[in-house]
Structure 1
Amino acid sequence: MSDWQTRCSARKQLQLDAIPPAWLVPLPPDDERSVIQTPSVCGLLTPRELEITNTIDIDLLLLNLRTAQWSSVEVTRAFYKRAIVAQQLTNCLTEIFVERALARAKEVDDHLHATGQPIGPLHGLPISLKDQFTIKGLETIMGYAGWIGRYAQSDCVLVQLLYECGAVPFVRTNVPQTLMVRAEITTSRRHFKPHLTFSTPLRSGARRSIMCSVGPQTPTIAT
């Protein structure tokens, strides 16, 4: 096995290891053509988590967060679990950082409890980011095997603004190599459409569309 293949294999294993074992779900048979309903029927999400993740009105979601009807920790965990189900079905994520995201969500909840005021207009809202937006301490591979092991020294400006607005970045979504057309990249596994599992998405940003297809999702940042 060549060096780049070894690096890619190790990177894929790290990605798998980032998924909490309790969040692994039984996968449908290979010949099942649509997996859109899987997050709702797999048993991983509680009824309350399904209620949260089925909320498509962002204004209502933000209202429940800033009035403490729902905590940021439980909202982040709910959307994370749904995203992880989507990942197992379609390979739509590049970066999975559960503990870090939940720690940020707790920080947001603690601020609201201590001051009675939200941090900002996006208080407690989980937000996914396309892979090119750097987050301090995480790799930004962009599909390049040669970029494996490069860790960002700082947050990009957009991520800084999201933190200032009270948001909770919680996953990064996959991209084709160099953001070009091809759907298969060497640093991750092949990606699939949830409504047509024998085919793959063929554009940059399609992985975010995949997450939405598997169920309602919080906002994402992409270009």
Structure 2
Amino acid sequence: MQHWTTIVAEKRARTLSRIPNEWMHPNIIQDMAEKNVKNACKYLDGILPVDEVNITSLDATALVENIASKKLTSYQICYAFCHRAALAHQILNCCIEIFFEEALERAKQLDAYYASTGKLKGPLHGVPFSLKDQVNLPNIETTIGYVSKVGQKADKMSLLAKLLHEQGAIFFVKTAVPTAMLASETVSTLHGRTLNAVNTSFSSGGSSGGEGSLIAAKGSPLGVGTDIGGSIRIPAAFQGLYGLRPSHGRVPYMDVTNSYEGQELISSVIGPMSSSLRDLELFTKLVVDCESWRYDPDVVPIPWRNFDGQQTQKLRFGIMTWDGMVLPHPPILRALEETRKVLIHHGHEVVEWNFPHSEELIDVAEQVYGADFFNEVEEILNESEEPVSDYMQLARNNILAKGGLGKPLSVRQWWEVSLKIRKLKQQYLEHWRDTANQTSDGKPIDSIICPVWPSAGFHDREVEHGCENYTMPFNLLDYSCVVLPITEVDEMKDKPNQAHLAKNASDKKMQDFYDAKKFGKMPVCLQIVCKRLEEEKCLAIASIVESCLSTMP
């Protein structure tokens, strides 16, 4: 058997070999350094042809409009995004599978179809669409960060990919993930480290970090990630993107590869990531309209619901400033306060949201994630004898620090966890209903606004400062969440909070980690949270919040 290091070297070489020679830039990282540029998107804008920059600045919605009006062809668009993705990968290490040649051939076919019929294939006609590595495409590998899975090609297409393909999407890359997709950074022995497109000194986040980096570099207009503990929302927040974490059963997961398949107490879900909010709605409506419940028994048969009427209505928001365990950094707190003020200014009502059992939400979620003490991951790693990841060791140490026994839960313990989750869901919903006692009209809140992450990211190789306190609870509850860019870190406005007394060791670690200069100009995002299966409402409310924020001076 080949040594794992040989397999890794050959895999990385094969990925790069799929990039045309004329798009290879061996000194690209050095060139960025010499120009003192950290932002991959801005750097690419400066070296690519103007016509390609103009194309890649458009979101998916605008791309389809340009194709329909015959201002652009599918081929022109596909070529521009493939070229940009090729360069983005050489900077950020964001792709694991590349198939530009096939994508460009499909673009030609779509152009021919439109020319001969006068009709578009669907709402995504000619749109380059990136896929997180988990999503299966026939005859293409799905490795999910494991060396031992190299060479294992999918024999079928995931249902979601099939639906998107039928609606005109052009797949051109699959994006990198961390080992087993169980990390808030995107690092694996197989592909290496994926960097942040906004600032290459920072981590991309994870586990959909390859997707987030590629989209933030404008190497893709629209793509999908998955989320079981924050894996869509974290990379979106770290790179100033929009992302939707739908509830389980709205977007088909059928034939998508996953770790811990069969674990359904906290289900992994699949959702869109983009540089625009309207693209999230474009994707979600398209998928719902495809009625995938006819094929995937886990999809809930709920047709698309229109919430346009909310645009003129007064809304009620619950603002969660912090969870009582880890206080967010000053830029996050400022974003919350600015959002609060602007919503009140526009006639909406804002009350405080403080769920009294936040710590239990985190503890129970962590019991689910570590139910087998990560033995499945270790077993697959052992197949190739690749080393155990640093992140998995951190996760195991966390279990031990909280009194875990260092072994899988028993069946009885699993049942006990199930009962705890049921009780927490009931308590959360009751607490939500009880907000009717706080609002002026006696109606419960429509949505929660809260942090995605307590900081504006972390530097590459600083995952020990990870904190999923603001993402994991909504996976356990299975609530709908939209990530919304709000502002960026401002060294002058976001001074350290000297008055705060750390509540615990994790809180102190997070506060000590803050440095306004270090985080300067990094994006600051918040998440809009609605109850289970309220994706349409969540997207509509996010649009209202964004509209209100656009009026800020």
Verify same fold: TM over 0.5.
yes
Out of 41, 44, 49, the residue aligned to residue 46 of structure 1 is: 49
SS in 1 for 2:173: strand
The offset of 1:151, in angstroms, is: 0.8
- Match for residue 59 of structure 1? 61
Query: Is contact 2:133–2:144 with CA below 8 Å preserved after alignment?
Result: yes
Query: Is contact 2:122–2:166 with CA below 8 Å preserved after alignment?
Result: yes
Deviation digits for residues 80-119 of structure 1 (CA, Å, limit 9, x no counterpart): 1111111010100111101111111111111001111111
- Match for residue 397 of structure 2? none
Q: Tell me how far apart the structure 2 counterparts of residues 164 and 192 of structure 1 sit (CA, whole Å).
A: 32
**1:217 matched to 2:220:** yes
Query: Is contact 1:140–1:150 with CA below 8 Å preserved after alignment?
Result: yes
- Match for residue 22 of structure 1? 22
Q: Which moved more, 1:21-30 or 1:130-139?
A: 21-30
Q: Tell me how far apart the structure 2 counterparts of residues 21 and 216 of structure 1 sit (CA, whole Å).
A: 18
Deviation digits for residues 142-162 of structure 1 (CA, Å, limit 9, x no counterpart): 001110001111211111111
Query: Is contact 2:131–2:173 with CA below 8 Å preserved after alignment?
Result: yes
Out of 187, 192, 197, the residue aligned to residue 194 of structure 1 is: 197
The offset of 1:18, in angstroms, is: 0.9
**1:35 matched to 2:46:** no
What number of residue pairs does the alignment pair up?
A: 220
Counting aligned pairs with the same residue, the percent is 30
Query: Is contact 2:197–2:204 with CA below 8 Å preserved after alignment?
Result: no
Q: Which moved more, 1:152-161 or 1:189-198?
A: 189-198
Q: Which moved more, 1:193-202 or 1:5-14?
A: 193-202
SS in 1 for 2:129: strand
The offset of 1:33, in angstroms, is: 5.9
Aligned-residue Cα RMSD (Å) equals 1.9
Decide whether aligned partners of structure 1 residues 135 and 216 sit closer, same or farther in structure 2, where only a CA change above 3 A counts.
closer
- Match for residue 114 of structure 1? 116
The offset of 1:171, in angstroms, is: 1.0
* Larger RCO (CA under 8 A, 6+ residues apart): 1
Normalised by the length of structure 2, the TM-score is: 0.38
Q: Which has the higher strand share?
A: 2
**1:206 matched to 2:223:** no
Decide whether aligned partners of structure 1 residues 73 and 21 sit closer, same or farther in structure 2, where only a CA change above 3 A counts.
same
Normalised by the length of structure 1, the TM-score is: 0.91
Provide runs of 4+ in structure 1 moved above 4 Å: 30-33
Q: Tell me how far apart the structure 1 counterparts of residues 49 and 4 of structure 2 sit (CA, whole Å).
A: 41
Deviation digits for residues 54-78 of structure 1 (CA, Å, limit 9, x no counterpart): 113x332111112322111110110
Q: Tell me how far apart the structure 2 counterparts of residues 221 and 74 of structure 1 sit (CA, whole Å).
A: 23
SS in 2 for 1:94: strand
- Match for residue 186 of structure 2? 183
Q: Tell me how far apart the structure 2 counterparts of residues 216 and 136 of structure 1 sit (CA, whole Å).
A: 23
The offset of 1:222, in angstroms, is: 1.4
- Match for residue 81 of structure 1? 83
Counterparts of residues 103-182 of structure 1 (less than 5 Å): 103-181=105-183, 182=185
Gaps in structure 1 of 5+ consecutive residues: none
1:80 partner letter: C
The offset of 1:216, in angstroms, is: 6.8
- Match for residue 94 of structure 1? 96
1:170 partner letter: F
SS in 1 for 2:82: helix
Decide whether aligned partners of structure 1 residues 148 and 216 sit closer, same or farther in structure 2, where only a CA change above 3 A counts.
closer
SS in 1 for 2:88: helix
SS in 2 for 1:221: strand
Q: Which moved more, 1:146-155 or 1:200-209?
A: 200-209
1:190 partner letter: R
SS in 2 for 1:103: helix
2:43 partner letter: T
